[in-house]
Amino acid sequence: MVTAICFLQIDVDKINEAGTAISNLPGVQSVYSVTGAIDLIAVVEVRNHEEVAKVVTDGIAKVPGVQQTETHIAFRTYRNGDIEAAFNIGLD
């Protein structure tokens, strides 16, 4: 299994629509709206690197409103749940 984290810059008036569309793409496990220099983070989980390329270039990058993608391949997971816990900080 290959996990990729995609940082996405989106047209400001398309963030909600783009987030929904991206979350429905095969291989996309979750999409988060975030603060800072990027607008959305998509977590992609697929069988191999070729599928990452397909999801990002043939899927995410073609969603209306997507201006730029920056994709990072994860080498290893240290603890299951760490990523989700990091995004849920302060929600309790």
Q: Domain boundaries in the chain?
A: 2-78
4-41 residue pLDDT tens: 999 999 999 999 999 999 999 999 999 999 999 999 99
The pair of structure tokens assigned to 1 is 């299994």
Strands 40-46 and 66-73: unpaired
- Residue 81 pLDDT more than 90? no
Mean pLDDT within 57-85: 88
69 three-class SS: strand
pLDDT in tens, 34-67: 999 999 999 999 999 999 999 999 999 999 999 9
Residue 82: what pLDDT?
62
pLDDT reported for residue 52 = 98
Amino acid at 24: N
Residue in the structure block whose two tokens are 């603890």: 79
Q: What is the CATH number of domain 2-78?
A: 3.30.70.920
